[in-house]
């Protein structure tokens, strides 16, 4: 197939493109993951990944990784944040409510 005849529909079924061969092009809804359903080690890994990529300034004082993780854990326990799995991108994120 030449590049000239390719369109967006040609990428379906190719990993990373389209609906991975799905007949239904409707994106799947994100799934809320209760933190208490994750093993402690996995929960910590999810929180650490979030903290390390988020890049938020915490003010004048520097916080350790453990302090940042504890802060996010507290937000999850209080319901101020939640863990969300996106089946479309197969990724996990933590979002504020």
**For residue 13, is it left (φ>0), alpha (ψ between -120 and 50) or beta?**
left
- Break the chain into its structural domains and give their ranges: 30-96
Residue with tokens 């799947």: 28
CATH class for the domain made up of 30-96: mainly alpha
Average pLDDT, whole number, for the chain? 81
pLDDT in tens, 48-92: 999 998 666 666 788 899 999 999 999 999 999 999 999 999 999
The pairs formed by 85-91 with CB atoms below 8 angstroms and a separation of 24 or more are 85/30, 85/31, 85/33, 86/30, 86/31, 87/28, 87/30, 87/31, 88/27, 88/28
Number of residues assigned to the chain: 97
Q: Tell me, what's the pLDDT at 60?
A: 75
């Amino acid at each position: 197939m030449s590049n000239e005849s390719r369109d967006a529909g040609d990428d379906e079924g190719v990993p990373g493109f389209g609906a991975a061969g799905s007949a239904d092009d409707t994106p799947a809804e994100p799934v809320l993951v209760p933190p208490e359903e994750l093993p402690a080690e996995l929960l910590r890994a999810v929180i650490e990944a979030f903290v390390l990529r988020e890049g938020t300034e915490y003010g004048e004082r520097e916080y350790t990784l453990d302090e940042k993780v504890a802060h996010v854990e507290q937000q999850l326990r209080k319901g101020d944040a939640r863990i969300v799995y996106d089946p479309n991108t197969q990724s996990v994120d933590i979002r504020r409510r």
